[in-house]
Structure 1
Amino acid sequence: MNEPAQHMDVGAYALGVLDAAEAARFEEHLADCSRCAAELDSALGLTPLLADLKESAPDPGVLIARPRPALLDGLLARVVTVRRAQRTRRLCLAAAAGVLIVAGPLAGSSFTSQNAPSHSTVSAAKAMYEEGEKIGAVDPTTKVDASVSLQEKPWGTHVALKLANVRGPLTCDLVAVGRNGERQTVTTWAVPAAGYGLQGAGADKWSKEPLYTHGGAALNRNDIDRFEVRTLDGKLLDTIKV
């Protein structure tokens, strides 16, 4: 049996209609084929469809060893249809979640600029930043302006970050450094080419807005020595002594 034909055996295997030799060959193929493994995982939800198969038998009391080809094709077509619908729904949800995560700071700024400003319309990260103990610093070399807002929690320290005067494209993280030298990543983000919190000529309404983001460290507030804003390739952008 060639490999394309084996790809077609997923539904038949799930329904138990392959003979012993065919089943053995398919199981050997399955061990190295992630595509068929994924299809089989979905096809194992065929219990309701098997009820349809039983009802279509001339004598419901007789166990059918192999369904009619047309009926088997119909069952497998229904499996494919259901699987495609589920996959489309998952992709749509994932895409929507990605838009919310990546565009969160920009979406918050846009919403605020188009409506009467109020505490309820600002982004969640900005609201969290406003509530905590604020400590900031401007790096003398990079000129990056970063400040953190700290809130003690039973699990450690909640940290909100305000970041300005930084151009991209960059991928960065905020690292909490303990007094004992322990390092914990608080949050990561991407800086678009236009940057955040830039002023002067060439800065548009989006790049003038600082970035607000937040995360947490398991370190207690009094055990933190400093925060470092770094690119993921190791460049230090700013240091905030606590």
Structure 2
Amino acid sequence: MTSPQEQHLDVGAYVLGLLEPEEMAEFATHLAGCARCTAEADELSGLEPLLAEYAEAVGPAVPPAAGGRMLERLTAEVTASRRSARTRRLFLVAAAVAVLIGGPLVGASLGGADGGRPAAHSTSPAQELMDHGVRHSAADASTGAVATVALEDRKWGTHVALQLGGVRGPLNCSLVAVGRSGEQQTVTSWAVPPAGYGLPGQPDSLITHGGVGLPSAQIDHFEVRTADGARLVAVPV
């Protein structure tokens, strides 16, 4: 069984899906009760799609091993490394994260629709998008929930950030994009702790992010829903 200290180091591998099935289950149990790892998982949640976008953005200037097959190579190397040393896996995950936050991927992932390459950000991807994306806000008087979404068009769809307050837990929630055609896609999901978000005693709002395979022009609105389908707030766009 993995020690508690080792589990803290597994968050990157968990986000990338590089753990064995039994390790994934063990870490998911750990994650449910560890605020530290939950915060780190949120920071890294955009890693896999951004690695894919990096390969598309840099094109033929990057060798195939560092392009479209980067994640597959990492996965293959990590799988082989489990047979020799646990630290090898952690090294590879750290290398992938370094590419995300320090290499050309930063410019590619944060560039706007015009292909601009702004300077690397010092905040999380979710906060960066909240600061610079196209924002839409709404509140629900019956539930007390207040939400802002920030949008950024990407080649694969829309990058979406959410800031949510006025919600008390414990709850499991999801952000759902509803298209103009009625199509629905889940952007991201999370657990609300008992103290909630944006409330007395817990004034900080939730800030998270994800993506959908719809251009922003095809999205009618977003809904924050509980696991049982209750709508906490809808945000028209």
Q: How high is the TM-score relative to the length of structure 1?
A: 0.52
Flag the 1:120–1:153 CA change in 2: closer, same or farther, 3 A.
Answer: closer
Corresponding letter in the other structure for 2:234: T
Query: Which residue of 220, 226, 237 corresponds with 1:225?
Result: 220
- Look up the match of 1:103: 39
- Look up the match of 1:57: none
State how far apart, in whole Å, the 1-side matches of 2:140 and 2:155 are.
Answer: 32
**CA apart distance, 1:93:** 3.6
Number of aligned positions between the proteins: 140
Matched, 1:94 2:10: yes
Flag the 1:141–1:105 CA change in 2: closer, same or farther, 3 A.
Answer: farther
State how far apart, in whole Å, the 1-side matches of 2:222 and 2:42 are.
Answer: 24
Contact 1:174–1:227 (Cα < 8 Å) also in 2: yes
Flag the 1:95–1:126 CA change in 2: closer, same or farther, 3 A.
Answer: closer
Secondary structure of residue in 1 paired with 2:10: helix
Query: Which residue of 210, 213, 216 corresponds with 1:215?
Result: 210
Flag the 1:135–1:95 CA change in 2: closer, same or farther, 3 A.
Answer: closer
**CA apart distance, 1:128:** 1.9
State how far apart, in whole Å, the 2-side matches of 1:187 and 1:93 are.
Answer: 23
Contact 1:170–1:192 (Cα < 8 Å) also in 2: yes
State how far apart, in whole Å, the 2-side matches of 1:232 and 1:101 are.
Answer: 22
- Look up the match of 2:229: 234
Flag the 1:92–1:192 CA change in 2: closer, same or farther, 3 A.
Answer: closer
Root-mean-square deviation (CA, aligned residues, Å) is 2.8
Secondary structure of residue in 1 paired with 2:217: helix
**C-alpha distance after superposition, 1:76-109 (max 9, x if no partner):** xxxxxxxx8xx669756436864555234999xx
**CA apart distance, 1:121:** 5.7
State how far apart, in whole Å, the 1-side matches of 2:182 and 2:42 are.
Answer: 35
1:126-141 pair list within 5 angstroms: 126-141=127-142
Matched, 1:153 2:154: yes
**CA apart distance, 1:129:** 1.1
Corresponding letter in the other structure for 1:197: G
Secondary structure of residue in 2 paired with 1:142: coil
State how far apart, in whole Å, the 2-side matches of 1:175 and 1:90 are.
Answer: 34
Corresponding letter in the other structure for 1:234: G
State how far apart, in whole Å, the 2-side matches of 1:166 and 1:92 are.
Answer: 28
Secondary structure of residue in 2 paired with 1:127: helix
Secondary structure of residue in 2 paired with 1:234: coil
Q: Which runs of 5+ in 2 are unaligned?
A: 15-30, 44-119
Contact 1:146–1:164 (Cα < 8 Å) also in 2: yes
State how far apart, in whole Å, the 2-side matches of 1:184 and 1:101 are.
Answer: 26
- Look up the match of 2:114: none
Q: Which runs of 5+ in 1 are unaligned?
A: 1-83, 108-118
Contact 1:105–1:212 (Cα < 8 Å) also in 2: no
State how far apart, in whole Å, the 1-side matches of 2:194 and 2:41 are.
Answer: 15
**C-alpha distance after superposition, 1:207-241 (max 9, x if no partner):** 10101000001001110011000001111100011
**CA apart distance, 1:131:** 1.2
- Look up the match of 1:168: 169
**CA apart distance, 1:140:** 2.0
**C-alpha distance after superposition, 1:121-180 (max 9, x if no partner):** 644322221110000100121110001000000000000000011110000000000111
Corresponding letter in the other structure for 1:239: A
Flag the 1:224–1:168 CA change in 2: closer, same or farther, 3 A.
Answer: same
Larger radius of gyration: 1
State how far apart, in whole Å, the 1-side matches of 2:160 and 2:190 are.
Answer: 14
Moved over 6 A (4+): none
State how far apart, in whole Å, the 2-side matches of 1:158 and 1:106 are.
Answer: 15
Contact 1:230–1:238 (Cα < 8 Å) also in 2: yes
